[in-house]
Amino acid sequence: MSDFLLRSWGQVGFETTYQAMQDFTAARQADTPDELWLCEHPPVFTLGLAGQDTHLLAPGDIPVLATNRGGQVTFHGPGQVVAYPLVDLKRSGYFVKEYVHRIEEAVLKTLLHFNVTGHRVAGAPGIYVRTLDPHNHSPLPQRPQKAAANTTPDFTGLAKIAALGVKVSRHCTYHGVALNVHMDLSPFERINPCGYAGLQTTDLFTMGVDVSWQEAADVLSHKLVTYLSP
């Protein structure tokens, strides 16, 4: 296990956490321990660096905040475990692509803990589930494969259960991953999630898993610390 400092903030405003992540990353030194922050946010839409307003269909009364993470638009709200790994990649010894892969692996193992099978989709970071058969282990035809570069993502029969967006500054990461546990999913209908029109989203509860936010957070944090260790 890595020497992560684990911090659970409860429900906290996105802007507060965003500023705190930037401050932490700017101030950290070569010997600063890595940290893993867990929280949930009040309802908010966040835009990545590539975010386009055209993917905001009807934000209504939910605030929209621009960020410096990768990716397009997503929604954060109560009932979602948001995990922010603050990792020194230079010290850890792996690059951004592997870092993203390790985060996704931690989410896959978290879902497996709750008897749900998660999947990767070629060209679309994050984790997806088969909506009609969430326990099906058979590989997706649209999974990432070496020969399938520049594939247009195929979400047939799938819904997104975890979204991922990262920022790296001076070899150090912030932002992270959001796992939908038991939340109001309707705000996702006000956007094109992650920039994909018609992409369905889901949560553990909809997939038949009724667990508390804390239990899901405990499992996810354990898996993240395990898979992000050097």
- Mean pLDDT, residues 138-167 taken together: 88
Q: Is the pTM of this model over 0.75?
A: yes
pLDDT at 151: 73
What's the pLDDT tens digit per position in 174-213? 999 999 999 999 999 999 999 999 999 999 999 999 999 9
Residue 230 pLDDT > 70, yes or no?
A: yes
> How many helices (H) and strands (E) in the chain?
4, 10
- Residue 229 burial (CB count, 10 A): 14
Boundaries of every domain in the chain:
5-228
Q: Which residues are catalytic?
A: 194
- What are 101-132's pLDDT values in tens digits? 999 999 999 999 999 999 999 999 999 999 99
pLDDT value at 15 more than 50: yes
Instruction: Judge whether residue 227 has pLDDT over 50.
Output: yes
- Per-residue pLDDT tens over the stretch 50-80: 889 999 999 999 999 999 999 899 999 999 9
Structural fold of domain 5-228: BirA Bifunctional Protein; domain 2 (3.30.930)
**Residue 1 pLDDT > 50:** no
pLDDT of the residue at 152: 86
